[in-house]
Structure 1
């Protein structure tokens, strides 16, 4: 188990302060003049050299801490534990005299409240040596990833305790320097259980499970914490059998060990029954035990069994509710998820995000945004996941803009995943300009960002813009993936760029080591077919892997034949019949083949295709369009006279669409 820095800091302060008090003497630190005490809150310039230590030959007077100072220290610590940092600092500034504990307590308060900068400032304003503050700063630096600064403090300590040694060992493991961590561990004059456990967990987290086991075996006395640490390490390294062997050998188990073993077995769907048997053997189950079972069964797709254990829980916690709601949503059972959601006595952000995700994917239009508004009204603060789920539910441009309006003031506009979703949603909603603005405002782009923008340009018929974005992507050092090539090849097809499209298709394998899929072949066939190069398209299809010849590829080839009336009759017949057999219930394949026959005047063949449609009871789905009326998406069909907003729809078409069509000829 990995001990967080806060754990180490708390133990350092508790144990070392106890040591100081038991000796009833403390190092006397030089106090700043009273007139300068108020300036301590300012950032003291920190040099890269250690503050000047007290010379070894100078004896610092050791005097007992008076009761007034002790009372101040206790009050500062209490304020710090409750997160009232500024009040703690004000009290620190008011102290008539400060001792080692005063500085250590204030520095620890800053660190526990994630204010390393002020802790560092106060630490370097301090004179003399303070083992508690030094140990706390080492842990704080390590937690912030500043291992070099931690090592500098460690090296300059006049006296080191087991906690400072252990913090440094943990820091080197966290930075994947297992050799230096082990070297320090071997140098430790005194080791405790936390030290041994830190090394076991450190090795395991670095994938060195054999070394972790070696250290465990070398422990002079193995307590329940060490046993639990090595068992958990084996589980995290997917060595379930070894974990189970150790679990059975363990002389004394605590509830935490039982729970992690159950959770470990639940990671393997084949061992769910073993996990269930183990759960039934637990002497005294707690909420974590029950939640582990519910979560494990739900993640393994055993919804009914998970619900059965959930219903048996004496005290249901939020994690169990969340596991069941997530499972229902994954199955598309939104009503069951809503029922459970509404019955919850309390919810957390994970609950809201799970429910928003479910409604976004499968719920009625607008319900996810209603839930989001309710969440905001109740005082919950959304995160990036919340708004991404809300975006999924958006059916029209106003809804996308509403979510976008929540993104910017919360500072999420630089979140890559969320912005990528915004680009895609704006594009799907027909607002290419807003998609472009969101993309250009994003400072750190990944391959999905570039691909989303390329697809947006391609889907809107802006082939040249897509190619320009692709060129910028390469200059930025980002390698395209398979989806990027689908977008850029589609752009070449829309722009009629045959030579460029062929070159990009060939570069997939040659330059980027990507094997073309059916989607890429269908794009290439479409490029050639639209350009009238049907013979070349047929050649591509004949030479491509048989496994990749799906309905999209054959449909693109047949579309090229229809567009230009080219192709051998036998080839057309073969393609058309193959396409129909691939999708016997899809009307589009019959219609496409029928159109090819009609374009070439083959009326008997057209009649045969229509007869086959009738025999198989395949009906053509009428084409439909969507338009935004009164802030809602309205779907209507060609010649539709029954839509309740029919007059408004046709008015908007006349006012907006007809002028554009006339302008474009």
Structure 2
């Protein structure tokens, strides 16, 4: 198996990729660098890259300039559009509205705001555009202020504000505005219907549907989708059967709904009844079958597809990866003729999550050599594949070079991985550099502190998290309870466990009970730990929880209870060697050597083997793994000699 020595090869590949990418895509910006143009290119006179004001521009009509601004915006040339706007000898309200629209289409609300508030006079178009932009950005009150000052309001402004209220879960205000609206069109009705459904008010959504005077296929499909997303598939099917006409989107939504509800037979019935299918239809079925653990059938439908776009390939590859079938995913991936960034990301992430970090890094190198530019998703998988601090630091450099250092998900991964590599200080620095800290960020630093035995710091971070307005989730509490266990904070741990249900509405799971039992065991409260296990929901009582209780009994010599727990673990997991080993050690600690021998005998009779420890060493770029007691490696003599002659003297020097 290929495994890079470190990320130096990756960095080299990245440099090659970067050079090619700049030559293909960024040559204009590169040539415009002052030091290049002055020192290296040395032109006789500077060639202006930006458009200069010409006399004939004044002769052009305002109308044609406005049209050019919109055309430049559609081409993504925002700077050129603004330059044309600035050089217009005369502008009207449409000029301002056009430029504002260009900014908003490219998600540059600050520049749109500045231009909007500098307008000599307002227009219904610019006002409506800003109302829509503010509503979409969650700044609904600012949108409402503009709306209230509008002398004339069009349907677009009304509908945008109503949509904004629904998106911000201010349903009463949306309802009131809808009632006040003088005239409504199909878009307004559909917006209200979807808004109610997204807020879980499916009955109100149906009421709106029934009020629509002329229902088109979009209205019908929106209501069907509302039912599907609220897990009311029967009602969706009933409405689907009543539709006067259906389009491809209607069919795809209904099939997706059935697959999400585990109604595979009905989904395939609908799929086979479709008058025509598109790529989305096929991909929906392939993905849905895979999610219903019907991977072989998913592959059959994939193979039947008349045409396959990258989305279809990616769906099937993702299905294999999700099932842990990375080898099959790789086989399919290698047969792809046109791999896109999603394809590479799926494979890199699949290898990373399967513990094949070397293969993940290998795929990353090949991706760079193909000329594709990695995105934050790619680098998150690369970061999680780093097995040591040097690799991680080099990956971090790539993050900075690509300008992704403000991506929250990627930075969260850096916080976690620095901690796993043993560098808690770098983990803390990565956390503090986060501009936006979400619940995952706070949980990552809490877990980092917990894993390094810094319980008090973990609890301090939790207090800061609450002050920031972030609410903990189940994983946060795993970190908190683990921190209390390592720090011996028994009462605090008990209090936090109780707060899960009462203060945050979170139901404790097996991992939380496991932490609590460990806390009580370390605090010598074995009887209380036993009561916790006895009272916990039976479905959450797994081998890990019982193992924690068995460990507590071992510490304090409660042999009778330990024996009972061991038997229960063996019933749950007959091949669990840990239970036998803990039980044997408990007998040994109590001096009951006869019972100790009986446990070891049972292990042999039942062919239960303890997973041996192993060592790994790299020689000439090749990894070699040695298990305890294993002498079967074909090159063992040469490698042992190498260790004896080179590694051991070096270790002795370090010790001196």
TM-score normalised by the shorter chain: which range applies?
A: 0.7 to 0.9
Does the 8 A contact of 2:449 with 2:457 survive in 1? no
Aligned-pair distance for 1:282?
A: 1.8
Assess if the C-alpha contact under 8 Å between 2:517 and 2:548 holds in 1. yes
Residue equivalent to 1:527: 522
- Alignment deviations for residues 211-256 of structure 1 (CA, whole Å, 9 cap, x no partner): 3322332223222222222222222232222222222222222222
Cα separation, 1, equivalents of 2:550 and 2:400: 47
Report whether the alignment pairs 1:192 with 2:185: yes
Corresponding residue for residue 333 of structure 1: 325
- Other-structure match for 2:62: 69
Which stretch shifts more, 593-602 or 86-95? 593-602
* 1:214 and 2:203 are equivalent in the alignment: no
Give the corresponding residue for 1:545. 534
Distance in 2 of aligned mates of 1:567 and 1:123: 76
CA-CA distance at 1:328 after TM superposition? 0.5
Name the TM-score, length of structure 1 as normaliser: 0.76
Query: For residues 214 and 484 of structure 2, what CA distance do their matches in structure 1 show?
Result: 70
Cα pair 1:551 1:582 within 8 Å, conserved: yes
Say yes or no: does 1:617 pair with 2:612. Answer: no
- Matching residue of 2:233: 240
Cα distance between partner residues in 1 of 2:486 and 2:175: 61
Residue 572 of structure 1 and its aligned partner are, at CA, apart by 6.2
Pairing partner for 1:507 from 495, 514, 528: 495
Q: Is 2:147 the partner of 1:154?
A: yes
> Equivalent residue for 2:98?
105
Q: What SS does the corresponding residue of 2:213 show, helix, strand or coil?
A: coil
Per the alignment, residue 395 of structure 1 pairs with 387
Cα deviation for residue 479 of structure 1 reads: 7.3
> How much does 1:358 deviate?
1.0
Question: What does residue 33 of structure 1 align with?
Answer: none
Deviation at 1:639, TM superposition (A): 7.6
Note the C-alpha offset of 1:657. 8.5
Alpha-carbon displacement from aligned partner over 1:340-365 (angstroms, at most 9, x marks no partner): 22233434433222211211122644
1:375 Cα deviation (Å)?
2.5
In 2, Cα distance between equivalents of 1:168 and 1:595: 68
Tell me, in whole angstroms, the C-alpha distance in 1 between the residues paired with 2:175 and 2:532: 58
RMSD: 3.9
1:470 corresponds, among 446, 450, 459, to 459
* Aligned ranges 1:350-389 → 2 under 5 Å: 350-362=342-354, 364-389=356-381
Question: 1:538, 1:557 within 8 Å by CA — same for their partners in 2?
Answer: no
For structure 1, list consecutive stretches of 5 or more residues without a partner in the other structure. 1-37, 41-64
Q: 1:521·1:553 contact (CA, 8 Å) conserved in 2?
A: no
Deviation, structure 1 residue 188: 3.8
Structure with bigger RCO (C-alpha 8 Å, 6+ apart): 2
For 1:604 and 1:318, locate their aligned partners in 2 and report how far apart those are by CA, in whole Å: 64
Which digits, 9 at most, give the CA deviation of each residue in 1:450-480, with x for residues without a partner? 55445545545xx4x3223324433553777
* CA deviation vs aligned residue, 1:594-631 (integer Å, no higher than 9, x gap): 44445555444343333333322334444334578889
Alignment: residue pair count:
583
Between 478-487 and 220-229, report the one with greater CA deviation.
Answer: 478-487
1:205 is the counterpart of 2:186: no
Using the TM superposition, give the Cα deviation of residue 544 of structure 1 relative to its aligned residue in structure 2, in angstroms: 4.2
Alignment partner of 2:61: what SS?
Answer: helix
Q: Is the CA contact 2:450–2:482 (under 8 Å) kept in the aligned structure 1?
A: yes
Change (3 A) 1:312 1:597: closer
- Over 3 Å counting, the alpha-carbon distance change for 1:457 and 1:113 in structure 2 is closer
Higher mean alpha-carbon deviation, 258-267 vs 639-648, is at 639-648
1:267 to 247, 260, 277: 260
Q: Which whole-Å CA distance do the structure 2 matches of 1:455 and 1:146 have between them? A: 34
Q: 2:109 aligns with which of 102, 111, 116?
A: 116
Does residue 321 in structure 1 map to residue 313 in structure 2? Answer: yes
Note the C-alpha offset of 1:311. 1.8
Query: Which sections of structure 2, spanning at least 5 residues, go unmatched?
Result: 1-50, 502-506
Selected match of 1:295 from 255, 278, 287: 287
Taking a change above 3 Å as real, the CA distance of residues 625 and 74 of structure 1, as seen in their structure-2 partners, is: same
Per-residue displacement from partner, 1:506-531 (whole Å, max 9, x unpaired)? 32445554768541354135414xxx
**C-alpha distance in 1, partners of 2:367/2:427?**
27
Q: CA deviation digits over 1:167-224, x for unaligned, max 9?
A: 3333333333334434444444443322332222223223333233223322232222
* Distance verdict in 2 for CA 1:100–1:440, change over 3 Å: closer
Match of 2:168 in 1: 175
What's the counterpart of residue 45 of structure 2?
none
